[in-house]
Structure 1
């Protein structure tokens, strides 16, 4: 692998020779510092007016430098709006969060330092470039702003007033050097470098996917909603099907004025007809028998569709035929992504038919089969478990090995191992799974015991779980007091088990998130390497505008699933890239360990056709 990560498995060198740090100065300009591999200034500082910065970046991209900046989510959208994509970047905010928490860097100056601006969550403005906000408006203007409060002496060539205004840039440089030092002094510098590169590449991908958008047909969406809910009505009025279901619910419980959207009123009505319910959750209602249950379950499903992805959502989030989700890389402590608004990670099947490729284009949709169990097999070096999934469905392979009787049993048992289920069917099957795959089950049990003791666990590449807070520790301590009651001890055991379930899954889910980041970064890299020029006939004909209007590009990501929007002529090539990237990601994390990361890949016109 060349651009996204260093070559080899969890390698031990920093990729790229040229590092350019871009930071705001105190007088409304961009300070650009050329850095060497140690993070030291390698030449005179360059100060640029903000409007000249995109052009400068474009000129530098010929050499594919690694940009170092405070926050990709703040800076990169402005470059994208100018039609500029960068090959590589180091996101100081995201990388700081990893290094601050990682058990591999706890002896570093970065981890031991007092909390600073780098430890505070950054709220970014995703629509800044469209609203006339400049690059500098995206940074705070007070003394503890993204301009920085920790400064160093200015470099040679920046003196007097210039040195004062550039001080913030050297404060950002200082953070970069602290990060390099923390990695260099760690026990696993290669793994951490890969993780930081993957996290930073993910930030670039998130910004690009938000900017490019997911192709969306509002006419199809409207037709889907009309079919499910009835004709569109004014806000605040129930569509026809919902109103009919509400009427059936009222008749079934004998409450003509019942509002089924009011949880307290609905609970009282259900209890009044003799249903012993503690909530109105679907899983609980499905266990009951009464004429109200079927219309109520259907009402809840359609009401959720209306509120989450109804006409108001469509009018709000679909702009010029594109859905622009606001992705938040590292938004979950395990490293999984989150979103801010729009619900991109929870698109229901009812509306996936509205995700339609442009004319002459296709959607290539790929998802990794049984990703977390395969990650567990590789993490634990359990060759028997890896062999069960070689070239086949892992759960089917477990059945074929005589471990359990059915695929459903295999899935239930594996989820129990990764999430800590010890009762019911999962609890019954776990001993059989542990006998067949002792290394895998031992790893999850060890992680769970560490969590129960309040300790941290760490993923394959070096992301560590947070430790429990003061209230948790106080509860545990109280259980050991001479005067502790039985209730105190039960509470402590319950909390300890809960935290153990968290750490049990953290190492698996977190390592799976790392694999997915490497997978996406490889896909992005290879898509950008596709030939243009003489091979331009393979690309979209007659297209103009940004690179996203001409070339294949990632448009969607969901934990273990990616989607590429591509000119139809390149669909087969894109499929090959996605499959090859999955294999490469596996080698980056686990070397030659014989675990397969199988994909289901489909080239379709509509997202609904891929499922």
Structure 2
């Protein structure tokens, strides 16, 4: 391509649509110059985008948010290479400490709205941190061309004047690539064997009962619990009623949580824990779940990139982030295809070693299991102790085995510990911290501020001071883990983005799955599942080994992209099989 052509080719194409569905495209070149708005009729939008994608230099599409634009493109066989998701980027930039001037972004409150999800789907709870913008029924961000263009200008200005534009650009590109992956995975669907799922349920629960009744094995366990409590009418499904029943039986507990019950010795506890486990399975992934979420051999969950404040994904339907390991055999490749599964060993500790530049910690995990390497260093005696110590360091544990072992890590890995200790200190003072690429933590809420203010008054009581100290420590634990979990999420996004491009570059192969979702996913390998540090690719059998190689190469590229020539490696456990493993 000639220099003149490169100068004229759009670097970005801002896409908006009016209420009547008519679209407008505004091209923005690398030098910042803008072309005249180009109207595109609704019936020609997919063709227009497809033609641009086939050009020698396809643009990065700038749109309100991927769920509002991309599904209809995929449904007609159009896949885009790159995008800039304005909603996700706005959420990052308005909070990032790297952005020096945030006033314009903070004033654009319409861009703080929820993603374009189905209104009836309520976001599921995150395992560690709250869901951002909970409530999918809230209004979505604007989609009109004027609003999109104005917001893009605000974002470009914020990036260019920031303390580190390159890091922010990389973060926004990775976040936006993740948005594309999430929509593509839902469109493709996870190959799902409903018959195997049913068999697994019957094996654990008994035959499917009629009319919403409880399965036989749950009923038998319930009878066993009630007999041990000597309370034939005891309710096991209502936590308050169950708690009262336990106390009537002389079992001194403050809650019905699994962790507290496990500490109790009583004949009712063991069957009660089994009952609760089966109840969770029935509620979250039972027969009703199959009826709702599996169609034509595909399970299509709704992912929410950036749904957690650390940058981890959340789910707004289908529970992809909570599928139990025991149901993994239901993930089954189509005939002539294979599942290529990969997960990263000890991702967060390795990210901590890379961020902090702790060479001793990097050496402990170089070419081997990190926890075993810590044992070999002489800091702890067993792999279990090493795991407790590392998790305690990242989550701020001060009691039990973790609290006892963390001081040893400070001696062996001082740089890594300084990084998380410093993050905790900032949080305890009510400050914010940032990930490697610049995603920043939220400030404490009003309740936290009020608690600290009360403790600082001359009239403060010991109880006020104790509450303030506890709240400060809790927020310090949050910021301690934020920098690690958030940077691990960035590494995973870089891994996904790189793998997505490598898979798209592979030649098509035959035969196509009978349940393929359209020409975008026919004949070629594609991502179907992602969970924090794990991916699954559905691939034609003859390409499975090439896909496995691409998965490994993408992980290596992600490490270099974020951390340069770091001594930290990110080893993968890669498996190629017809079914996903439950191990």
**Normalised TM-score (structure 1):** 0.88
Residue 30 of structure 1: aligned partner: 23
Residue 213 of structure 2: aligned partner: 237
Q: Which residues in structure 2 correspond to 1:268-347 (within 5 Å)?
A: 268-347=244-323
Residue 155 of structure 2: aligned partner: 179
Q: Are the equivalent residues in 1 in contact too, given 2:67–2:116 (CA < 8 A)?
A: no
- Matching of residue 375 in structure 1 with residue 351 in structure 2: yes
Greater shift in the superposed pair: 282-291 or 411-420: 282-291
Q: Are the equivalent residues in 1 in contact too, given 2:89–2:172 (CA < 8 A)?
A: yes
Q: Distance in 2 between matches of 1:206 and 1:26?
A: 26
Residue 576 of structure 2: aligned partner: 603
- Matching of residue 70 in structure 1 with residue 64 in structure 2: yes
The alpha-carbon deviation at position 377 of structure 1 amounts to 0.4
Secondary structure in structure 2 of the residue aligned to 1:23: strand
Q: Distance in 1 between matches of 2:444 and 2:519?
A: 47
Q: Distance in 2 between matches of 1:330 and 1:526?
A: 23
The alpha-carbon deviation at position 145 of structure 1 amounts to 7.9
The alpha-carbon deviation at position 26 of structure 1 amounts to 5.2
Q: Are the equivalent residues in 2 in contact too, given 1:552–1:564 (CA < 8 A)?
A: yes
Residue 478 of structure 1: aligned partner: 454
Aligned residues: CA RMSD = 2.0
- Matching of residue 499 in structure 1 with residue 493 in structure 2: no
Secondary structure in structure 1 of the residue aligned to 2:271: helix
Q: Are the equivalent residues in 2 in contact too, given 1:372–1:509 (CA < 8 A)?
A: yes
Q: Distance in 1 between matches of 2:14 and 2:289?
A: 39
The alpha-carbon deviation at position 55 of structure 1 amounts to 0.9
Q: Are the equivalent residues in 2 in contact too, given 1:216–1:323 (CA < 8 A)?
A: yes
Q: Distance in 2 between matches of 1:289 and 1:147?
A: 57
Deviations along 1:344-374, one digit per CA (max 9) or x if unpaired, are: 1011122211111111111111000000000
The alpha-carbon deviation at position 416 of structure 1 amounts to 0.6
Question: Alpha carbons of 1:248 and 1:543: their partners in 2 closer, same or farther (altered >3 Å)?
Answer: closer
Question: Alpha carbons of 1:479 and 1:56: their partners in 2 closer, same or farther (altered >3 Å)?
Answer: same
Q: Which residues in structure 2 correspond to 1:253-272 (within 5 Å)?
A: 253-272=229-248
Q: Which residues in structure 2 correspond to 1:100-119 (within 5 Å)?
A: 100-111=94-105, 113-119=106-112
Picking from 495, 519, 535, the partner of 1:546 is: 519
Q: Are the equivalent residues in 2 in contact too, given 1:24–1:147 (CA < 8 A)?
A: no
- Matching of residue 445 in structure 1 with residue 421 in structure 2: yes
The alpha-carbon deviation at position 146 of structure 1 amounts to 4.9
State the aligned residue count: 556
Question: Alpha carbons of 1:285 and 1:53: their partners in 2 closer, same or farther (altered >3 Å)?
Answer: same
- Matching of residue 82 in structure 1 with residue 82 in structure 2: no
Deviations along 1:392-420, one digit per CA (max 9) or x if unpaired, are: 00000010111110000000000011000
Residue 551 of structure 2: aligned partner: 578
Deviations along 1:499-549, one digit per CA (max 9) or x if unpaired, are: 0000000000000000000000011000011124xxx46x65999742313
Deviations along 1:26-53, one digit per CA (max 9) or x if unpaired, are: 55310111111255422x3211221210
Secondary structure in structure 2 of the residue aligned to 1:402: coil
Question: Alpha carbons of 1:592 and 1:110: their partners in 2 closer, same or farther (altered >3 Å)?
Answer: farther
Q: Distance in 1 between matches of 2:211 and 2:497?
A: 42
Secondary structure in structure 2 of the residue aligned to 1:548: coil
Q: Which residues in structure 2 correspond to 1:355-366 (within 5 Å)?
A: 355-366=331-342
The alpha-carbon deviation at position 115 of structure 1 amounts to 4.1
Q: Are the equivalent residues in 2 in contact too, given 1:73–1:126 (CA < 8 A)?
A: no
Q: Distance in 1 between matches of 2:523 and 2:160?
A: 41
Q: Distance in 2 between matches of 1:265 and 1:247?
A: 16
Q: Distance in 1 between matches of 2:10 and 2:410?
A: 47
Q: Are the equivalent residues in 1 in contact too, given 2:303–2:317 (CA < 8 A)?
A: no
Question: Alpha carbons of 1:26 and 1:261: their partners in 2 closer, same or farther (altered >3 Å)?
Answer: closer
Q: Distance in 1 between matches of 2:87 and 2:32?
A: 16
Q: Distance in 2 between matches of 1:126 and 1:84?
A: 26
Residue 91 of structure 1: aligned partner: 85
The alpha-carbon deviation at position 72 of structure 1 amounts to 0.6
- Matching of residue 58 in structure 1 with residue 34 in structure 2: no
Residue 171 of structure 2: aligned partner: 195
Residue 495 of structure 2: aligned partner: 519
Deviations along 1:106-144, one digit per CA (max 9) or x if unpaired, are: 324534x4242112223423999xxxxxxxxxxxxxxx9
Runs of 4+ deviating beyond 4 Å: 144-148, 539-544
Residue 165 of structure 1: aligned partner: none
The alpha-carbon deviation at position 470 of structure 1 amounts to 2.2
Q: Distance in 2 between matches of 1:174 and 1:570?
A: 44
Greater shift in the superposed pair: 29-38 or 83-92: 29-38
The alpha-carbon deviation at position 486 of structure 1 amounts to 1.1
Q: Distance in 1 between matches of 2:63 and 2:218?
A: 50
Segments of structure 2 that go 5 or more residues without pairing to the other structure are 1-8, 122-138
Deviations along 1:426-449, one digit per CA (max 9) or x if unpaired, are: 111111110000000000000000
Residue 400 of structure 1: aligned partner: 376
Q: Are the equivalent residues in 2 in contact too, given 1:25–1:147 (CA < 8 A)?
A: no
Deviations along 1:141-187, one digit per CA (max 9) or x if unpaired, are: xxx98557xxxxxxxxxxxxxxxxxxx42332121111111111111
Secondary structure in structure 2 of the residue aligned to 1:549: coil
**Normalised TM-score (structure 2):** 0.92
Residue 590 of structure 1: aligned partner: 563
Q: Are the equivalent residues in 1 in contact too, given 2:10–2:27 (CA < 8 A)?
A: no
Q: Distance in 2 between matches of 1:145 and 1:298?
A: 42
Segments of structure 1 that go 5 or more residues without pairing to the other structure are 1-15, 129-143, 149-167
Q: Are the equivalent residues in 2 in contact too, given 1:99–1:110 (CA < 8 A)?
A: no
